[in-house]
Structure formats: structure tokens, C-alpha cells
Structure 1
Amino acid sequence: MPYPTALADALTTELGLDGSGRLLDVGCGPGSLTLLLANRFEQAVGVDADPDMLTEASRLATETGIHNTQWRHMRAEDLPAGLGSFRLITFAQSFHWMDRPKVASIARSMLDAGGACAHVHATTHQGVNGEEALAHPRPPHSAITELVRSYLGPTRRAGQGSLAQGTASGEGEIYRAAGFTGPQQIEIPGRVLTRSTDEVVAAVFSLSSAAPHLFGDELGKFEAELRQLLHDTSPSGTFSEQTRQIAIDIWRP
């Protein structure tokens, strides 16, 4: 699900963004946050370790007429890579994949005077459960999780590896050890969105724990079962989602 414009507006207000300076989005994926923030800066640079993500980011930038972006294929640990300095550096659902102490230290060294890092805590592949009535059925997330487990086993997969202990946490101590102060936290309320079957399927496959390659020769069978599950839940192919609150931690040197 897309990040809301309210996220960009909140950062603009808090950091006084005025179209000047540069943005670095680390672990940018398909540019979801990079493109949302690009028009608040003179230039926006997205870096990611997956070249296919950057191909999609470039396509979306062209499709939406955003021309002040640059995409670089690299691991975060390979920064600064001659990219220069930045007014804002963002990590959105990406920091836990990295050598966090090393990357936090590098990020601090790449900030302009008065610059900041923004760590975005969000869940954009699915919404929250609830009892309130929505216009359409909610996607059956618990059943989807069980379907994935029936194919891939109980240990959560993560791309080429696994996350037996779950996603890494404790980033606050890491930022402070790298010389940052804070955080100052901004909260963005959730909202209700309408989603199609194709969007829900794409969201499942976007997860490192359910990436298409993990299913091997059973990928087609899994997708067919997933689509049948979604059809049984909403024959119209339309779903409603109440998104989660987004929290942004702003860290300053």
C-alpha cells in the first residue's frame, strides 16, 4: 500500500523542507517513499541492493513525471560511494536488513549541517484487523499466513535465508552509538483503502517471507490457491483495508 501524502507533509513541516537540498532513501525498493518526497527536494537519490526494484522505481518516476531522481544499485554498506551530502536520509522498512551500526555511522557522516535521518516504522503490505464495518471484506490475512506456512514451513523465510528470531530491533541504541540524538517522533494516523485481488497478491509476493522464488516449482499452485482464497472471501475481487499508524523517528547528529 502506498505511503500517505500526510507522511510527506509531516516531514515537510517538521524539517522545514522547501525544495532545496538533497534526499537519500536507503533501501528504497521501488521508490515508494523516494517518489513521495522527491518534490520536496532539489534532488532525490534512491539506493537499493536489488536491481529489479530500481528498474521499477525508474519506471514509476517516468510514469509520474518526476525528473529529479537518481537510482543507484548498491548495498547500504557500500555508502558513501561518492554520492555527496544530504539534507535528509531516510530508512523506510529497510534498516533491519543492514549492518546497522556501520550504516548508521556512514549516514551520520553524509548529512549536511542541520540535516537529519528519518526512520519510518510502517506496515504497508497489510492493514489491521478490526470489528468495524468497512465497505468491502478485509483480506483474510491469517488464512494467507497459514497458506504460506503450508508451503514454506513454520520458520519465517527471508529472501535467501530465514528470520528464526524475527526482525531485528533495538535501533535506538544503534543510532545513539553512531552519534545521533533523539528521536523526535511523528505519528501519522491510519486510513481506509480499497484494494484489488491483484494488489493483495502482489503484496504477498512483495514480502521477503513469501518471495516468488521460495515456492520453486509450486509457485503456480500456491498462487492459484491464494487467488481462490481471496475469491472465496470477496467474489467481487475488491477488499477494504484499515491501515496501521505510521511512526517516524527523526534522528539528528
Structure 2
Amino acid sequence: MTVGVGFSGEVAEYYAKYRRGYPPPVIEALRAGFALTADDIVLDLGCGTGQLAVPLASQVRSVIGMDPEPDMLRLAGETAAGQDVRNVTWVLGADSDVPALGALLGPGSLAMTVIGQALHWMRHEELFRTLAPLFRPGGGVAVVANGTPLWQQDCAWSYALRACLEEHFGRRLEATCGTAAHDRRRYAEALRAAGFTDVRETVIDYSDELSVDEIIGGVCSAIPADKLPGQEDRPAFAERIHRSLPSGPYPESVHVSVLMGRVA
């Protein structure tokens, strides 16, 4: 993962407005899983626009939100300021910068590193080995998968959306963004290989209902900036998606996986 992976500019704006947040049970699972206290420091790696960093800030002394996209960090900072959250430090960087961050913080300084829907961009095996010495006893890594991508769900409107997008981009859309069961098994094995113990998964399920604008905005939040249709072409792109969808409503079953591994 390198600085500037294409989720900048308007894509970041879509991300801040339309990406799913995390319901309170997810934050509670993270708090309980690592026994977080008001003395702890948490790293949110690949923090995006702050969907995890901002709510986690109320649980700990401070959060470091780290992301390779300056626009993501700018919008995250605006969200935090709008909620009067003052104990998050926003840092430009990627998983390859964790060794430098670790040298600044020192061994045993972190209670948790949380990675929300971003690990598929990272060298996870190397990352887990690098992170392990940085945790206090009982601390560790949480890999959060925040539901299946909009175009890969098992329902009629998602099938129609996927067909529309595959026709538009001229290729099959198969990437799972780290949400598939085989991804979770692979990450769990890598945590164990890096020395983490008590590796287990907590699942939080909830239902939602999306509007057409939320579907279109969610799609645009996942398209790299160089692939996003330009301003003049975007209304036609949105209309194409809208016309492809069956009549609403558009229910969504969200399956949130929180995979945790701890150090002794």
C-alpha cells in the first residue's frame, strides 16, 4: 500500500458521505475484545474518512488515524471537528510506514490496531509481524470487514447492479475486498503465524434499506479517481445505474466480521 492509491478528490467525498458507518455493537466488540481503557492508544490503519477512528476516540486516551490519501484525512478531520472529537491525530501513511511509527511509539505502546475494510490493500503477513511488538499485554489486531460490496450481494437489485457495472467497465467484478470467508481464514492464519493468540471472529448482523442515491454514491466511493466518470458524464452514469435497478425498496443485510488476535 503506497501513499495515494487513487481514492482522492471526489471519490473521497463520496466515501465520506455514502460509505457505511459501524453500528455501536461493533465499537463495543472492539472495546471488550481488547479491554480498552481511558489510558490506551489505538491505531486505525487505513482509516479512510474516520468511520472507525471517530467513534473509537470516546473509548480511549487517543487514536492515531493513518491513511495514504490526504483527502481522506482532510475529510476525517472535518468529521472529527464537527463532532468535537479532539483526541485523534491524523497521519499520512500506509502499512509500509508502520515500522517508522513503531520506532516513535516504542514497544508495548498500543492497545489495538484496527483495520477496517482496508487490509486487502496491504501486505498483511509482514504487517502483522511488524505490529506484534507494539502492543501492550492483551492488545492486538482487529480486522473488520464491513459487509459485502453493494454489487456482490445475494439479492435481485445487487445482481442487476453488478451486471450494469460489468457492462460499463467491460470486465467481471470478482474482488471481495477482504469480506469473503476464505479471506477471513487467510487473515486468521496469518495472525497465528505472526504469534497472535486467541484468534477469533465476532459477527454483528443488521439490516438496512438503501435509497437509489445511496447505491450510486456507494458505487462512486469505490471507483478509483482515474476511473470515476467525469463531471459531465456522471449524470448519465448515475441514470444508467438507476435504470438497471428493479423497483425498490432495496433492502440490505450487512454482515460485519470482527477478526481479533491478541498478544500475551
Using the size of structure 2 for normalisation, the TM-score is 0.76
Matched, 1:92 2:116: yes
2:239 is the counterpart of 1:227? yes
Q: Corresponding residue for 2:72?
A: 53
Aligned counterparts of 2:162 and 2:244: Cα–Cα separation in 1: 16
Are the structure 2 counterparts of residues 73 and 124 from structure 1 closer, same or farther at C-alpha, using a change threshold of 3 Å? farther
- What's the CA shift string for 1:74-109, capped at 9, x where partnerless? 111111323512111111111121112211111112
Highest RCO, 1 vs 2 (Cα 8 Å, sep ≥ 6): 2
Distance 2:30 2:45 in 1: 17
**Preserved CA contact (<8 Å) 2:47 2:65:** yes
Structure 2 distance, partners of 1:111, 1:128, is 36
Structure 1 residue aligned with 2:197? 181
Provide the secondary structure at the position in 2 that maps to 1:191. Answer: strand
Q: How many Å separate the matches in 2 of 1:61 and 1:124?
A: 26
Per the TM alignment, residue 61 of structure 1 is displaced from its structure 2 partner at its CA by: 0.7
Mapping 1:72-91, distance limit 5 Å: 72-82=91-101, 83-84=104-105, 85-91=109-115
For these two proteins, the number of residue pairs brought into alignment is: 233
Q: Deviations over 1:152-185 (max 9, x none)?
A: 2214498xxxx9xx99831222212211123122
Name the CA shift for 1:232/1:153 in 2 (closer, same or farther; >3 Å): closer
2:125 is the alignment partner of 1:101: yes
For residue 69 of structure 1, report the CA deviation from its aligned partner. Answer: 0.5
Taking a change above 3 Å as real, the CA distance of residues 14 and 226 of structure 1, as seen in their structure-2 partners, is same
Residues 34/28 of structure 1: CA separation in 2 closer, same or farther (3 Å cut):
same
Instruction: Select the residue among 242, 252, 255 that pairs with 1:242.
Output: 252
From the superposition, tell whether residues 109 and 250 of structure 1 become closer, same or farther in structure 2 (CA, over 3 Å).
same
Structure 2: gaps of 5 or more residues: 1-19
Answer yes or no: is 1:35 the counterpart of 2:54. yes
Q: Distance in 2 between matches of 1:6 and 1:77?
A: 31
Specify which of 197, 210, 216 is matched with residue 212 of structure 2: 197
Letter in structure 1 aligned against 2:55: L
Q: What residue is the counterpart of 2:224 in the other structure? A: 211
Superposition deviation, residue 21 in structure 1? 0.3
Q: Does structure 1 retain, via aligned residues, the 8 Å contact 2:161–2:245? A: no
Deviations 1:119-173 (A, max 9, x none): 112226539545xxxxxxx8x3222222222222214498xxxx9xx99831222
Which residue in 2 is equivalent to 1:67? 86
For residues 220 and 149 of structure 1, do their structure 2 counterparts lie closer, same or farther at Cα, with a shift above 3 Å needed?
farther
| Structure 1 gaps, min length 5 | 131-137
Which whole-Å deviations, capped at 9, do the CAs of 1:178-213 have from their partners, x for residues lacking one?
A: 111231221112222x43433222210122xx3342
Alpha-carbon spacing, 1:101–1:13, altered in 2? closer, same or farther (3 Å): closer
CA distance in 2 between counterparts of 1:69 and 1:239 reads 38
Residue identity opposite 1:181 in structure 2: T
Q: Compared with structure 1, are the counterparts of its residues 242 and 149 closer, same or farther at alpha carbon in structure 2 (3 Å cutoff)?
A: closer
TM-score normalised by length of structure 1 = 0.79
Structure 2 CA distance for aligned equivalents of residues 45 and 102 of structure 1: 20
Equivalents in 1 of 2:74, 2:235: separation in Å?
A: 24
* 1:16 Cα deviation after fit: 2.5
1:11-26 matches, within 5 Å, as 11-26=30-45
RMSD of aligned Cα (Å):
3.0
Q: Which runs of 4+ in 1 moved over 4 A?
A: 127-130, 155-158, 231-235
Identity over the aligned pairs, expressed in percent?
24
